């Protein structure tokens, strides 16, 4: 049996737990080790201003137990863009409500991490989420080729660094699109709008051409999500609710 067939067959013998852990079926056989993997989701949002779109993407991030050479081991880590959406002319209160409901909805509920573009008006949304005790990280885009944490909520990350990170993940096959992903062409168009230029001082910077759809909102949300999946540790997964709702 090929490794690919073994891997696919093994997926039918896994337990996907509500908190994102994934364990193999041992059939109570002491000779079969119990191996723990995971399946989680990174939900990332770029908050639109005025008539611009707000965009949301979700990356499925999983590393599952597999059978290889008759042994149960952890398989390769796989990240897949499985969800994309955008909307405009919506209040920030409604945006927050939408993000909360989305992260609670199947298949994301209980095993998702929320991260937003915290630049500019993103701080307003971050404050609103914080006031409702919604765990999230707010990534503030800066210059440079590095990133750093600012307290428990904010992260400062160089835009060039984040775009290069996304490019490397796609080029290495570590990140891919789901075959039926809606808005894929629009996302690819946004990513293609970024270019590397050299300033008069000899510094390399990322510039972005405005796309026909706007300022590249889908691309930004994907860049934020990809950065988070690569660099930010997963927090404790839990379901949270709107205050005043049951």
Cβ 46 vs Cβ 120: under 8 Å: no
CA 212 from chain centre, in angstroms, equals 25
**What pLDDT is attached to residue 208?**
57
Rounded CA-CA distance 110/97 in Å is 17
CA 231 from chain centre, in angstroms, equals 11
> For residue 168, what are the β-bridge partners?
none
| Residue 48, C-beta contacts closer than 8 angstroms, at least 6 positions apart | 54, 55, 88, 214, 217
Task: Indicate the pLDDT class of residue 125, thresholds 50, 70 and 90.
Answer: very high
Q: In this predicted model, what pLDDT tens digit does every residue of 47-69 receive, in sequence order?
A: 987 678 999 999 999 999 998 88
Which tops the pLDDT comparison, 68 or 196? 68
**What pLDDT is attached to residue 195?**
64
Task: Indicate the pLDDT class of residue 244, thresholds 50, 70 and 90.
Answer: very low
- For residue 150, pLDDT over 70 is answered with yes
Instruction: Indicate the DSSP class of residue 11.
Output: G
**What pLDDT is attached to residue 198?**
54
Tell me how long the chain is.
246
Average pLDDT, the chain: 85
The structural domains of the chain, with segments of one domain joined by +, span: 3-231
Q: In this predicted model, what pLDDT tens digit does every residue of 216-236 receive, in sequence order?
A: 899 999 999 999 999 997 654
- For residue 86, pLDDT over 60 is answered with yes
Task: Indicate the pLDDT class of residue 238, thresholds 50, 70 and 90.
Answer: very low
Mean pLDDT of all residues in 212-219: 72
- For residue 97, pLDDT over 60 is answered with yes
Task: Of 45-49, 187-191, 211-215, give the range with the top mean pLDDT.
Answer: 187-191
DSSP 104-173: HSTTTTTSEEEEEE-STTHHHHHHHHHHTT---EEEEEESSS-EEEETTTEEEEEHHHHHHHHHHHHHTT
CATH number given to 3-231: 3.30.420.240
């Amino acid at each position: 049996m090929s490794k690919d067939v073994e891997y696919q067959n093994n997926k039918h013998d896994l337990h996907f737990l509500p908190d994102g852990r994934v364990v193999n079926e041992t059939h109570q056989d002491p000779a079969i080790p119990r191996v723990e993997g995971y399946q989680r989701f990174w939900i990332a949002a770029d908050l639109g201003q005025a008539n611009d779109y707000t965009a949301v993407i979700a990356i499925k991030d999983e590393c599952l137990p597999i059978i290889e050479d008759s042994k149960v081991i952890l398989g390769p880590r796989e990240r897949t863009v499985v969800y994309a959406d955008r909307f405009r002319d919506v209040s920030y209160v409604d945006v927050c409500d939408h993000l909360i409901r989305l992260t609670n909805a199947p298949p994301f509920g209980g095993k998702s991490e929320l991260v937003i573009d915290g630049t500019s008006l993103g701080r307003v949304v971050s404050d609103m989420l914080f006031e409702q005790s919604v765990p999230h990280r707010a990534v503030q885009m800066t210059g440079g080729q590095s990133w750093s944490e600012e307290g428990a909520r904010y992260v400062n990350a160089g835009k060039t660094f984040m775009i290069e990170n996304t490019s490397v993940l796609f080029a290495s096959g570590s990140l891919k699109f789901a075959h039926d992903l809606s808005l894929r062409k629009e996302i690819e168009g946004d990513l293609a709008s970024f270019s590397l230029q050299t300033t008069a001082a000899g510094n390399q910077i990322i510039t972005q051409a405005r796309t026909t759809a706007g300022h590249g909102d889908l691309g930004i949300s994907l860049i934020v999500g990809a950065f988070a999946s690569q660099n930010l540790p997963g927090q404790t997964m839990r379901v949270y609710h709107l205050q005043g709702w049951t």
